[in-house]
Structure 1
Amino acid sequence: MRPSIRLVAAAATLLILAGCASPGRRAPVEDQGRPAGGSSASSASAPKVLPGAENAGKPGYYTVKPGDTLIRIALESGQNWRDIATWNSLENPNLIEVGQVVRVVPPASEAAPGVV
């Protein structure tokens, strides 16, 4: 009776593996590196301009690096992440891109009043 249990287990294992190996369906992949309508010479040469790029390298601004989060940027700059999101008009603070430049100090209009 023992060999028949092994035979049933082996058959069940083969059926499961056969189901996993079916090439019929593949996961959908979306290439976000190219425009939807194909590529053209003019769109390929125009780099994507990220928000705040004109402020890159200026004091009070930070350029996002790979692995950065808004919370980490806020901690490193001594600010609250909610304030940074507000100063940069970020609708979703979880969506920041590498190369994006964000303000990490309050705008002059929000600076501490009465401080000279």
Structure 2
Amino acid sequence: MEHVPEESLSVSIDQNEGADALGAVSSKTAQKILAVLIDDPHPASDVAEKIGVSLQNVTYHLDRLEDAGIITPVDIWYSEKAREMTVYGIASEKLVIEFGSKERGKNSDQHNTK
């Protein structure tokens, strides 16, 4: 399956937002899931089998990673029993973490150029 992720995803960490992305990638299970999805998109059942954890656990982490914008549904496959399976892929090749708001960063840049 052909899936081309974006070049990078920027996450701004400030008091109001961004912690979801860090929380989503902080667990070992989430990191194993991402390692599987880096190569090719997969449905949750394939990911669970590849990393040796329960489907319920993988689904929990996939939901968190999707909510954080780190992975994205890329296709629908059908199981042998004709059930729909969402296929997930990474949303971007790089995750860039910025501390503070983007507005603050712009203001800092302006101060540095004077």
The structure carrying a bigger strand percent of its residues is: 2
TM-score normalised to the size of structure 1?
Answer: 0.30
The structure carrying a bigger helix percent of its residues is: 2
Higher relative contact order (CA 8 A, sep 6+): 2
TM-score normalised to the size of structure 2?
Answer: 0.30
Structure with higher Rg: it is 1
